Amino acid sequence: MTKIKVMSENLANKIAAGEVVEKCASVVKELVENSIDAESTEIKVDLTNGGLGSIRISDNGIGMEHDDALLAFERHATSKLTKEDDLFFINTLGFRGEALPSIASVSEVELVTCASKVGTRIIKKGGKLVLDESIGKNKGTEITVSNLFYNTPARLKYLKSEQFELANSVSYIEKLALAKPYIKFSLTNNSRTIVKTSGSGNLLKTINEIYGLNVSSKMIEIKAMNDDFTINGYICKPEILKSNRNDMNIFVNGRIIKNYDINKAINDAYYNYKPDKKFPIVVINIETDPTIIDVNIHPTKQDIKIAKYNDLYSLIVDTIEEALKKNLLVQDALLRLPSTNEVRQEILGIHEEQSPYSPQQQPVVEKTKEEKEDVQTSFDFVEEENADNAEFKRLNLHPIGQIHATFIVAQNEEGMYLIDQHAAAERINYEKVKDSFAKKDFYQVPMLIPITIVFPSSDYIIIKENLDYLEELGFTIQEFGLNTININAHPSWINNEFAEETIRSIMDMIVHEKNKFDRMKFEERLIQTTACKMSVKANTPLSIESMEDLLKRLEQCKNPYNCAHGRPSIMNFNNYELDRMFKRAMN
């Protein structure tokens, strides 16, 4: 008797359901994608208890005739692929023919659909046909899924709370609405509307419907193309960054994509405009020939392989960098990220981060006149006319004091400005050092007393491997006994005052990289670190003359609005906002 047997169709469907259906949002995703493929212009999602009770998807699409409705529950039955070659030209969201039979095998499903005059009603329970009848119905389809995973207890216990399941479904529908702004979407939970879009076809309007005015008003439109890719959409100004990647909305040929490489390209473009642990809000559509991408690499179809990624990477980075460069302005100090409405805030748990600034600062240590003069030279910068920041120069700021010896207070006719003195000096020094690197415009500075550094054996091996590169950078290094080096000279782009601290940081960075050493990335981090170390710190009193000098030199920067690590360098309170704060203006 043979030991190998062919699985029953129902068992195969349950196994497939484990890949395709992980949570309530998986059901929403698969069924809504079918509605989109059915040419629907209006799609409604009605949930009970976040989907744990029931999920109903209704649309105004082309619907199905009776025989097609029955066949749709069969595994690998699809209208979207007819021959092998179609797999290389996929233009629909679904194509595997697994979703509906998989869902039906682990739940109770009621399908009501109509393509012409007579509608069809089908009920299945655990994959078995319970009812098949003709009914009257308008054109379109309505599917209700209830008791999800009732017959697969191992899967049922992994469903989360109502709030968690609901949040996932809401997030997916919001992304889909951004991907398909010409479709009218609505999502309710227990008859309470959470998502509603107009289907106007205007992407910026849809962004406003999802995120609210304070976000949509801070978005920058992008458009670009090369031989293989076209990209368009909106990116945010750096003042409305988020703490995770959830709002990096990427669509490839209309499909929602979660792709590490594309996310990396976007983050690289924002590299100088945001902190490492913050992420932009973007809505980017990428159009390309279906033969260039492979969407058939994961059951959820949410990841892809890209044949010409380097070309796409360059297009994304160049386009975003150019858009940011043209649109950077002083950030509004009163801007806060709002939720779309109180309901969405309550459900998705959107909370503003507390300010990292504490008014309880360390005691200010008074500095001597000589030390104050040294502070001025720490952001020494060659003044060159820069046409990129005419807006910043137009501000004509006049410093009037400091807060906690950390923030410069300045004013002009339009309002009050707060400048983070360390961030501003870091930007000045960053562009200075970066320019020196690009032009190789530096010389060696001999050290009166060499810096001696002792390494563990494993770290010393890495340093020795990179000695030639360090000498290229302008260091003179001598091996000095067991696992020890002497630094006898350093490049001129390192400020003498902070030489030892900076040099030790550079050695730590090289050791940290180990076998993953990337010269371009290392030099960027090196420039950032050097700029940071040589910049005036917080809790450093400055004279009015020093403040004026800093602002004057900040004007010459290509990007005066952010430090080298992407933090904002300047915020403003305009006169109207000040009047409102003190009730001088009441509207």
pLDDT band at 91 (very low <50, low <70, confident <90, very high): low
Q: What is the pTM of this model?
A: 0.68
Q: Which residues contact 265 (CB under 8 A, 6 or more apart)?
A: 312, 313, 316, 317
pLDDT of residue 49: 94
Q: Of 36-45, 354-363, 451-460, 530-539, which range is least confident?
A: 354-363
Task: Determine the longest span between alpha carbons in the chain, in angstroms.
Answer: 97
Q: What is the pLDDT of residues 259-280, one digit of tens each?
A: 889 999 999 999 878 887 889 9
pLDDT band at 513 (very low <50, low <70, confident <90, very high): confident
Strand-pairing partners, residue 256, are 251
Q: What are phi and psi of 17, to 5 degrees?
A: -65, -30
Q: Of 146-155, 455-464, 552-561, which range is least confident?
A: 146-155
pLDDT of residue 372: 39
Report whether CATH 3.30.1370.100 matches the domain 370-572: yes
| Mean pLDDT, the chain, integer | 82
As a whole number, mean pLDDT of residues 493-516 equals 83
162-179 and 203-211 helices, crossing angle to 10°? 160
pLDDT of residue 412: 93
190: left (phi over 0), alpha (psi -120 to 50) or beta: left
* Per-residue pLDDT at 129 exceeds 70: yes
Considering the segment(s) 219-332 as one domain, its CATH architecture is 2-Layer Sandwich (3.30)
Q: What is the pLDDT of residues 393-423, one digit of tens each?
A: 889 999 999 999 999 999 999 999 999 999 9
As a whole number, mean pLDDT of residues 444-471 equals 91
Measured CA distances, 316 to 257, 338, 547 (Å): 15, 27, 38
pLDDT band at 4 (very low <50, low <70, confident <90, very high): low
Q: Of 147-161, 397-411, 544-558, which range is least confident?
A: 147-161
Domains of the chain by residue range = 9-196, 219-332, 370-572
As a whole number, mean pLDDT of residues 543-550 equals 95
pLDDT of residue 359: 35
Report whether CATH 3.50.50.60 matches the domain 9-196: no
pLDDT of residue 2: 59
* Per-residue pLDDT at 557 exceeds 80: yes
Mean pLDDT is highest, among 90-104, 189-203, 299-313, for: 189-203
Give, rounded to a whole angstrom, the gap between the first and last alpha carbons of the chain.
Answer: 86
pLDDT band at 384 (very low <50, low <70, confident <90, very high): very low
* Per-residue pLDDT at 286 exceeds 60: yes
pLDDT band at 61 (very low <50, low <70, confident <90, very high): very high
pLDDT of residue 12: 54
Read off the tokens for 62: 């082309």
C-beta contacts of 308-311 below 8 A and 24+ residues apart: 308/228, 308/229, 309/261, 311/226, 311/227, 311/228, 311/229
